[in-house]
Amino acid sequence: MNLTGNTFFVITIVLVVIAVLLPLLLWSRLRGPAVVRGACRVFMVVFAQATAVLMVFVSVNNSNGLYGSWDDLLGTSNHVNNAVDLGPSGTGGRQIAALPKVRQTFEKVDEPGLGNGLRRTYLKGAVSGVEGEVYVWLPPQYDDPAYRDKQFPVVELLAGFPGSSKSWFRAMKVQSRIQPLIESGVVAPFILVSPRTMLLGDKDTGYANVPGTVNADSWLTVDVRKMVADNFRASLAPTSWAIAGYSAGGHGAAKLALAHPDRYSAAVSLSGYNDPAAEKTSITGADPQLRRENDVLNILMAAKTPPRVSLLATGEGADGYLPGLALRDASKPPTRVEVRPTVGGHVTRVWGAELPYAFRWLTREMKLEDGTPGQGGPGGGAGRQDRPEAEGAEVDEPSGAGGGILE
């Protein structure tokens, strides 16, 4: 039975009702020795408490997308087939564009709470050695005959830890929040891609490559991107790609974008952190060397040249905001960092409310208002390489602009 399905949630509600009725009907009617009556009453109390806790847990899990399966909940899932050393590039010396095309079969997802237009495939990463489900949502324009020769920009979505690949669609409701903005032309028609990020059971991968353990970085930045480009009208060019995440996923989004400016041009970190040790189960936070190598601030400061990446960091206090300020203060052109304060805590409700702003920001930073990224639109706007840069500059909220498509 599906952990996140409505059927299981309804069963927990029925169990709670039964647990309430049992003592009401049987408490004073029990017969037998005092020990037996006492044991039965203790059982009824424990059963009532256990069913109530179970119902609340299932409700919270469904609302926040923490665990997508029983294996994830029990910490027994393992999606790593091999983890060879792929070198600094994460490709093992291979050119991504030269790899064989990855043709996938997609199934439509018809689950309550996930909205419309979602499809799913199971990808076996040829480079990373990782396998797992990937959810894809296409914007309304994708199937419009008027856009059949157009390529679309992509945002890769990372869940926190624990976190399900469905969480961006179930808990964050990303598609229902941005589709009206896409249809009105305020936000570019992004393809949304949400891959599995829980790869090692109850351990957080840190979104990193750790030879012999996991190649999570290559799974997300090589295999998933290649699959999307091979199956949809999307380019592998960094100007066509952004990455976004919340909580641990915010850490991953900022880290991967700054480490791979050849793959992403923008990132959104919602309540993310710089130090991987902020997540107690992170394999990169537990090892001193891996901790230094995967600290987002260290990656930015150690870059040979400042990465051509725009980063939006949001949060409250030490929960995203202060780490964002540290990145902004350390950034140099052409790196751009905007830090946006939020209130309300470390919850999907707060992050979901930030999505309209975040996607308008991505539309502007990726130069998608009315033209091809990096080249300016028909109106003559400057491309990314021409825009003025200011160290540590914050950007204003984008004004209404037409959604951009790649020619």
How would DSSP label each residue in 278-329?
Answer: GSTTBHHHHSHHHHHHT-HHHHHHH-SS----EEEEEEBTTBTHHHHHHHHH
190: closest CA among 172, 177, 205, 208? 177
Q: Are 322 and 350 in contact (CB under 8 A)?
A: no
Mean per-residue pLDDT over the chain, rounded: 87
Residue 212: pLDDT over 80: yes
Other beta carbons within 10 angstroms of residue 63's beta carbon come to 15
- Helix locations, 75-220, DSSP H: 167-170, 174-183, 216-218
User: Quick one: DSSP state of residue 221?
Assistant: I
If pLDDT is split at 50, 70 and 90, which confidence band does 74 have? low
Residue 403: pLDDT over 50: no
What global pTM score does this model have? 0.80
If pLDDT is split at 50, 70 and 90, which confidence band does 64 have? low
Whole-angstrom Cα distance, residue 312 to residue 254? 9
| pLDDT for 54 | 84
Q: Are 72 and 198 in contact (CB under 8 A)?
A: yes
Average pLDDT over residues 227-249: 97
Whole-angstrom Cα distance, residue 171 to residue 112? 12
Average pLDDT over residues 151-169: 95
Query: 133-145 b/e with 16+ CB inside 10 Å = b?
Result: bbbbbbbebbeee
Whole-angstrom Cα distance, residue 198 to residue 214? 11
Tell me which of 235 and 385 has the higher pLDDT.
Answer: 235
Q: Are 157 and 245 in contact (CB under 8 A)?
A: yes
Whole-angstrom Cα distance, residue 125 to residue 114? 25
Question: SS3 for 59?
Answer: helix
| pLDDT for 369 | 82
| pLDDT for 384 | 38
Whole-angstrom Cα distance, residue 275 to residue 322? 12
Percent of the chain with pLDDT over 70: 85
DSSP string of 97-125?
A: GGSPP-----EE---TTS-SSEEEEEEE-
Average pLDDT over residues 121-131: 97
